[in-house]
Chains A and B, each alone.
Chain A
Amino acid sequence: MDSSSLIVQFGQQLINGISLGSIYALIALGYTMIYGIIRLINFAHGDIYMVGAYAGFFATTMFKFSFIPALIFSMAAAGVIGMVIERVAYRPLRNAPKIAILITAIGVSLFLEYGGMLLVSPQPRTFPVLFESEVYNIGGMVINSQQVVILVVSLLLMVILTYVVNKTKMGKAMRAVSFDTEAAQLMGIDVDKVISFTFGIGSALAAAAGVLVGIYYNSIDPLMGIMPGLKAFVAAVLGGIGSLPGAMLGGTILGIIEALVSGFWSSTFRDAVAFAILIIILLWKPAGLLGKNIREKV
């Protein structure tokens, strides 16, 4: 390989990596927000992404929605489901030992996976084509319209989220609750409502990722959330759990590493290398790239 084709190849993997990474980032945001607000690793979060993909699937196949309405429908449906899960499964355990709620999260995850199989069958489904696939060629690198849509939608959602968290009253309340729940209560903040809202937003973002993946890979199934869920969790930890920019950065980095390893070496080693690099980064920066040493809750 001469050097110019090496650069093209590198650029190509960068494009692939950023598309994949923005999916991880969308899922990682929910992990990090939920962890930030109730210090829970929500193991069911990857399954919410699967639920979102199916909501998008049924919106387009049964209701004949086009892309944007299907995306909004899926985000809304998953948002509501996320809020219901919090209300029914997690809220009653809020003052219980941490391990109880963690195990419940695993239970919810299994419930969604196997309940999903029962409801929609374990068979993978072909996600409908929602728009003409076009391929653009930029100096030897190719980028297809799906990747463009993934990038635009993820970026837009991240900008909206950042605005909501930093500028709105609800966002301020979310930051206050995640920093010090009791102090937030003393301000008159309804903590239950804020936690519920956080689950809603986090789940909606995961659902968007689910729809985008459906469009990208064309295939969805009830267990599709397990691996991306795990990776997005790692991405959140890598970026610094609790940090929104950290989740975005962690997701993108993970996507890029994976793409580079599969492009230049072998996709067999993709996950192994990706995780090894993550371990090294965490040894070097245990709080994650953008993580602060957050005060543990008592």
Chain B
Amino acid sequence: MAMLKVDDINVYYGAIHALKGISVEVNQGEIVTLIGANGAGKSTTLRTISGLLKPKTGQIMFEGKNIAGMAAQNIVKLGISQVPEGRRVFAHMSVLENLDLGAYLRSDTKEIKADMDMVFGRFPRLAERRGQLAGTLSGGEQQMLAMGRALMSRPRILLLDEPSMGLAPLLVKEIFSIVKDINETGTTILLVEQNAHMALSIANKAYVLETGRVILSGDAKELAASEEIRKAYLGG
């Protein structure tokens, strides 16, 4: 049974029909990626999974439970954590306070402390800047903070929305290797990316979205090799 099964959801912004029957499956331990052009509905899919939007129809099953329409905080409680597009760190708070907020639903002080050390181990640049206001961090550091913050809730599955956005190539590589590493230590990942090349290189499975629909899906390696994908998303 899939860990997360998005089943034929339809999502609207007022009159705009943004998702037209999207279905996505993620198995435990996998990295699954959603790729597609601007406005395809990638972020909308993640936002709906996280409970920020309610699907008009369709189901979202997480470990056997329908979470469609559930309040966002309860979805976090079940173990789904999201790093939103644009990072959305709390700019006027320190790095430490941001990480504390990531652990908002937990009260196991000792374990939280241990997880914070784990985050600092993974992102040494954050450790050096723990007292600094998040708004004064560089783009790459903010991305790391947003990821560290999401990890502080000890998610079973991590939803990442364009973690490479606006970063220099070297940093993109670093972020992707961290994503891979997070996955290898047991966290399932659903990754939204514009950078299809990088995403397909680390993912097990991929879905290609276009104007609110899944137009292609399958094994990431096979998709990366397919003529269609190469032309449309990988620049030939």
Chain A: residues with CB nearer than 8 A to chain B? Answer: 169, 172-173, 175-176, 179-180, 182-191, 292
Contacts and interface: CB of A to CB of B under 8 A. Distances in A.
B93 A187 contact: no
Contacts of A175: 90, 92-93
A292 B135 CA distance: 13
B12 interface: no
B38 interface: no
B90 A176 contact: yes
A187 B101 contact: yes
Interface in B44-87: 50-52, 71-73, 76-77, 81-82, 84
Among B76, B89, B101, residue most surrounded by chain A Cβ atoms (within 10 Å): B101
Nearest to B71: A190
A145 to B, nearest CB: 40
Interface size range on B against A: 20 to 34
A183 B84 contact: yes
B88 interface: yes
B90 A188 contact: no
B210 interface: no
Interface in B144-172: 149-150, 153
Given A175-B90, A179-B91, A179-B92, A186 B100 contact: no
A188 B101 CA distance: 9
A222 to B, nearest CB: 39
Nearest to B77: A188
B91 A173 contact: no
B79 to A, nearest CB: 11
A175 B100 CA distance: 13
B51 A169 contact: no
Nearest to A295: B91
Interface-centre pick from B76, B93, B100, B104 (highest chain A CB count, 10 A): B104
A188 to B, nearest CB: 4
A169 B84 CA distance: 22
Interface in B101-150: 101-102, 104-105, 149-150
Contact of B105 (A172, A176, A188): A188
Contact of B104 (A179, A180, A182, A189): A189
B92 A187 contact: no
Given A182-B84, A186-B76, A173 B92 contact: no
B90 A182 contact: no
A189 B81 CA distance: 12
Contacts of B82: 186
16 contacts: A173-B101, A175-B90, A179-B90, A179-B91, A183-B89, A183-B90, A185-B50, A185-B51, A185-B52, A185-B72, A186-B50, A186-B52, A186-B81, A187-B101, A188-B153, A189-B73
A199 B221 CA distance: 53
B76 A187 contact: yes
B7 interface: no
A185 B51 CA distance: 9
Given A179-B90, A182-B84, A187 B51 contact: no
B104 A173 contact: yes
